[in-house]
Amino acid sequence: MIAAKHSVTVNDRAYRWMDRPLIVICVDGSEPDYITQAIRAGAAPYLQEMCGKGTSLLADAVVPSFTNPNNLSIVTGVPPAVHGICGNYFYDRETGTEVMMTDPAYLRAGTILAGFSHAGAKVVVITAKDKLCRLLGHQLENGICFSAEKADQTTMAVNGVDDALALSGMVLPAVYSSQLSEFVFAAGLKLMATQRPDIMYLSTTDYVQHKDAPGTPGANAFYSMLDAYLRQLDALGATIALTADHGMNAKTDAKGDPNIIFLQDALDEWIGKNAARVILPITDPYVAHHGALGSFATAYLPAGVQAGNIVTRLAALPGVEAAYERAAGCRRFELPEDRMGDVIIVAERHSVLGTTRDRHDLSGLEVPLRSHGGTAEKTVPMLFNRRAVGIDFSRRLRNFDIFDIALNRLQ
């Protein structure tokens, strides 16, 4: 099967077979300034080398700038309009239920990871949180796929590896900890050293980024940890490609109180109690670090209510950056129309969108709110440890071009 090894085509994009192991890393919530500040503080000497000798670019993430839509775009090479995962939830009007999109049944495109595994490549996927695992590992053949969160429960049959916990040499980390991300690198390093897979996809959690601003001791410590692992992975001869799913911004006023626009409260006042349904696609089972507050929302309106009028009123709310009717919003952000509401709302840089005042539990927030979801968090870093040539800068560079650059454009 030599012929199959020249390239693999997935979702109409052709990827060259790798000439050395490729490690693609999605650092969750890694606003570009985290890396800049860590380098400036001397905490990230390897990342500094990467920027100098390799390639350092900025790219646009997918909006909503949330974890799942972006991770899935990165591993499929296409936007949510094609792969279907536009958030953690959508509302099914027919059944009147909110549907969680963490099941691969909702994925409409194959992944580059699965494509290469079918062509005979050994593929490893390690995530911090378990919610991403099933989506990223979908249709992987003879691969390894597990999360740090459930590393103590892996089996050869399900995950391709027994006892992943032992790989890292660490104790099982807490879900809300920076160790959850460190585990991903520790296990990845061990697997690269012992099994030398062809492709490895590592995805962290933004626990630190939700808490610590760029340049703070907590943030620099995280990037210092990451930096040390990257150097060791580089020493094993791998190509390293690093990007982020989204950035991160403070969502507070001068006092440190969150700037929240309660959309359900506004819609209730305009068209009647619970007549509309607001969906916050950031909502997932792990809300303590952001209170389910992000800068992107969609709302379903009852029959007979003109979306255009509501869009005008929503756009006029203080803190709202823009509001769109479904078709226009889906065109603008490349989203699947059948999984979005009648209106789409994006908040400004320092504001977030909520449902009703009484539905958000902010007691889990130990520090002033930092979050993401809007266009203000769409710029992300894209770094490679080798020089890229022939990138077409006339078109918009996206974080989901990372496999294309890593496999087709590096020297």
Toward Zn ion, which CB reaches closer, 60 or 325?
60
The 3-state secondary structure of 235-254 reads HCCCEEEEECCCCCEECECC
Stretch that binds Zn ion, among 21-29, 56-64, 79-87, 340-348 (CB under 5 A): 21-29
Q: Which is nearer to Zn ion, 41 or 287 (CB)?
A: 287
CB of 354 vs Zn ion, minimal distance in Å: 19
Q: How far is the CB of 138 from Zn ion (least distance, A)?
A: 19
Nearer to Zn ion, 111 or 117 (CB): 111
CB 209, min distance to Zn ion, A: 8
Q: Determine, following the binding rule CB under 5 A, whether residue 206 of this chain makes contact with Zn ion.
A: yes
Which amino acid is located at 125 in the chain? Answer: V
**Judged by CB under 5 A, which stretch of 67-75, 79-87, 335-343, 348-356 contacts Zn ion?**
67-75
Is 129 or 326 the residue whose CB approaches Zn ion more closely? Answer: 129
CB of 151 or CB of 208, closer to Zn ion: 208
Q: In the complex, which residue's CB is closest to Zn ion?
A: 67
How far is residue 123's CA from residue 17's CA, in Å, rounded to a whole number?
13
Least separation in angstroms between residue 26's CB and Zn ion is 8
Q: How far is the CB of 87 from Zn ion (least distance, A)?
A: 12
Residue of 28, 149, 227, 284 interacting with Zn ion (CB under 5 A): 28
- Min dist. Cβ of residue 68 to Zn ion (A): 8
Question: With CB under 5 A as the contact rule, which of the stretches 66-74, 93-101, 254-262, 279-287 interacts with Zn ion?
Answer: 66-74
CB closer to Zn ion, 132 vs 266: 132
Count of residues that bind Zn ion according to CB under 5 A: 4
- Region of residue 283 (phi > 0: left; psi between -120 and 50: alpha; otherwise: beta): beta
Question: Of these, 37, 65, 67, 147, which contacts Zn ion (CB under 5 A)?
Answer: 67
Minimum distance from CB of 320 to Zn ion (Å)?
22
Residue 28 or 401 with smaller CB distance to Zn ion: 28
In whole angstroms, how close is the CB of 294 to Zn ion at the nearest point?
A: 10
Q: Using the minimum distance from each CB to Zn ion, give the nearer residue, 130 or 342.
A: 130
Tell the smallest beta-carbon distance from residue 28 to Zn ion (Å). 4
The residue type of 139 is: Q
Q: Does 284 bind Zn ion (CB under 5 A)?
A: no
How far apart CA 268 and CA 276 sit, in angstroms, is: 7
Residue 338 CB contacts under 8 Å (≥ 6 apart), including other chains: none
By the rule CB under 5 A, 227 interacts with Zn ion: no
Draw the binding track, 230-269, toward Zn ion (x: CB under 5 A; -: no contact): ---------------x------------------------
3-state secondary structure the chain: CCHHHCEEEECCEEEECCCCCEEEEECCCCCHHHHHHHHHCCCCHHHHHHHHHCEEEEEECCCCCCHHHHHHHHHHCCCHHHHCCCCCEEEECCCCEEEECCCHHHCCCCCHHHHHHHCCCCEEEEECCHHHHHHHCCCCCCCEEEECCCHHHCCHHHHCCCCHHHHHCCCCCCCCCCHHHHHHHHHHHHHHHHHCCCEEEEECCCHHHHHCCCCCHHHHHHHHHHHHHHHHHHHCCCEEEEECCCCCEECECCCCCECEEEHHHHHHHHHCCCCCEEECCCCCCCCCCCCCCECEEEEECCCCCCHHHHHHHHHCCCCEEEEEEHHHHHHHHCCCHHHCCCEEEEECCCCEEECCHHHCCCCCCCCCCEECCCHHHCEEEEEECCCECCCCCCCCCEHHHHHHHHHHCEC
Question: Binding segment for Zn ion among 7-15, 60-68, 179-187, 256-264 (CB under 5 A)?
Answer: 60-68
Q: Closest distance between Zn ion and the C-beta of residue 307, in Å? A: 29
Binding site for Zn ion (CB under 5 A): 28, 67, 206, 245
